[in-house]
Amino acid sequence: MGRGKYYGWWRRAGEGLEAAFYQENWAARIAYALKLQGGLYIDRRDFYLPLPEGFQCKLAFISDLHAGPLTDVRLLEQAFAAIADFAPDVILFGGDFVSLHARHMRHLRRPLGLLNPATPKFAVMGNHDLWLDDVHISNCLKAAGVQLLVNQNTRLPAPFDAISICGLDEPGVGMPDADQTFAGASEVRLLLMHSPLGLKLVAGHDFQLAFCGHTHGGQIATPGGKPLVLPPGSGERRYARGLIALPDGRQLLTSQGIGMSDLPVRLFAPSEVHLCHLYSLLDVLEQNRSQARSGQPAW
């Protein structure tokens, strides 16, 4: 058992029954064959941040893999192949790498192997990771070249070193420390956390863009994408999915994640990989000024 809080006997018993019922991944294989695992949606976005002129960076974000008996490995491989094709400059992982047992990290060996080993990779833990053997999960991530951030930050390597990745420990069941997370970070900060619940903990701290998951977009939603039920520790419902504008020009991107928990099914909440381009806001402003001087529209 890991260091996560609120993993009582009732939850251990329930997940033990789940593990016994879903063993050998039969349910995930059937659900995938019947196209009940939701497919994969590639979410492409451009972000304009207060970065030096000419700055460009390709960033991939993926969360809630839930490797184990409820998520077919073919869905995981499809998601990682999309990231590999994008050839990002940095990759962020939003936690919940496994479900039900830490040994399911073995299902991520091949998907992780699709990624360029030279690409910087950063991760935070999810609640499921902390309830299980988080030491084993951390060791597997390290072996795959993924740096785990626990209430700490790190600058990206040059030429992207104007940006710090700030990793907050799991907001609901971990030991999050916002002051420590942002201490000494650069002026341009990307916040990485497992759940949007973390927004309550980082109030008063500067960041431009936050990435999180945990909610699965409800995993089962209405045809319009409105989540029916969110997992505990999700925070406010308005932060359950998509790109959300926050006060002071900040933004939050909440991923629906890849895998599944409790049931091997997604309805109207497809799995997501986020492929992002980061650009300098100064370049956009200069382009708009140039177009204004020439009489062209600024869009």
How sure is the predictor about 89, in pLDDT bands with cuts at 50, 70 and 90?
very high
Is residue 73 within 8 Å of residue 102, measured between CB atoms? no
Pairing status of strand 163-167 against strand 188-192: parallel
Cα–Cα distance measured from residue 204 to residue 201, given in angstroms and rounded to the nearest whole number: 9
Average pLDDT over residues 136-149: 98
Do residues 108 and 61 lie in contact, with contact meaning Cβ atoms separated by under 8 Å?
A: no
Helix (H), strand (E) at residue 12: helix 9-21
Q: Tens digit of pLDDT for each residue in 222-278?
A: 999 999 999 999 999 999 999 999 999 999 999 999 999 999 999 999 999 999 999
Place of tokens 């650069």: 186
Judge whether residue 68 has pLDDT over 60: yes
Pick from 63, 17, 3, 1: which is nearest to 260 by CA?
63
What is the model's pTM?
0.95
Cα dihedral 286, 288, 293, 297, rounded to 10, equals 160
**For the residues 208-218, what does the mean pLDDT come to?**
98
Superfamily of domain 9-288: Metallo-dependent phosphatases (3.60.21.10)
Report pLDDT for 284.
77
pLDDT of residue 286: 60
Q: Is 21 exposed, middle or buried (0-12, 13-18, 19+ CB in 10 A)?
A: exposed
The b/e string for 254-278 (b: 16+ C-beta within 10 A; e otherwise) is bbbbbbbbeebbbebbbbbbbbbbb
The whole-number average pLDDT for the span 181-210 is 97
- Position 252 scores a pLDDT of 98
Tell me what pLDDT residue 291 has: 66
Q: Measured between alpha carbons, how far is 83 from 290 in angstroms, rounded to an integer?
A: 35
Q: What is the mean pLDDT of residues 18-41?
A: 93
Confidence check: pLDDT of 293 > 70: no
Question: Order of strands, edge to edge, in the sheet holding 209-212?
Answer: 152-155, 163-167, 188-192, 209-212, 251-254, 242-245
13 falls in which pLDDT band (50, 70, 90)?
very high
Q: Residue 109 above 60 pLDDT?
A: yes
Q: How confident is the model at residue 46 (pLDDT cuts 50, 70, 90)?
A: very high
What is the distance between the alpha carbons of residues 107 and 127, in angstroms, rounded to a whole number?
Answer: 19
Average pLDDT rounded to a whole number, residues 290-298: 63
State residue 294's pLDDT score. 67
pLDDT (average), residues 80-97: 98
**Cα gap 188→250, rounded to integer Å:** 11
How confident is the prediction for the chain on average, in pLDDT?
Answer: 94
